[in-house]
Amino acid sequence: MKKISVLMCLMVFVNLIFAQKDTSYYSPKIIHYSVAEAQNSKEKVIVFLIRGQNLLIMPNEISDFKDLEMVNLMKNKIEVLSSSVYNLPKLQELNMRENNLKSIEKGMGKMKELEFLFLEKNQLQEIPQEIKKLKKLESIDLE
């Protein structure tokens, strides 16, 4: 019985450490792997998993998808966190891990629903003070 309790506590602890929204509950119909693929169903796009595609810039078209809740652009070569994601009213998670981010455009404080922000393994020298305006932000990973 103690082994089960310890195991459950460990699982909860690991889950908290790696707090990232689980996409498994999203229907495959609403997860998209490119902006072009999603153009025909903008109102149904909830998750973008555009990772590892060697993107140099964030697609500006992302701002057209007002129902987006999660954007994963990790493992690209993006240098600037563009304001194109700031006007997504439902965005809860933004994953920019392992890019070449050097700067973050002004306006970050507009992401009122953002809960998780992943910026580790980039080249950021500073984080804008606007991040303090993100009242729902639960986790920010920088290392």
Question: Residue 136 has what pLDDT?
Answer: 97
DSSP 31-71: EESSHHHHGGGGGG--EEE--SS--SS--GGGGG-TT--EE
Angle CA 132–127–55, to nearest 5:
120
Question: Residue 71 has what pLDDT?
Answer: 96
* 90: DSSP letter: T
The whole-angstrom separation of Cα 37 and Cα 33 is 7
Q: Residues 94, 117: contact at Cβ < 8 Å?
A: yes
DSSP H or E segment with residue 11: helix 2-17
- With residues binned 3-state (H G I as helix, E B as strand, rest as coil), the percentages for the chain, rounded to 5, are 35, 15, 50
Per-residue pLDDT of the chain (143 residues; tens, 9 = 90+): 444 444 344 443 434 344 445 555 555 557 888 888 888 877 778 999 999 999 999 999 999 999 999 999 999 999 999 999 999 999 999 999 999 999 999 999 999 999 999 999 999 999 999 999 999 999 999 87
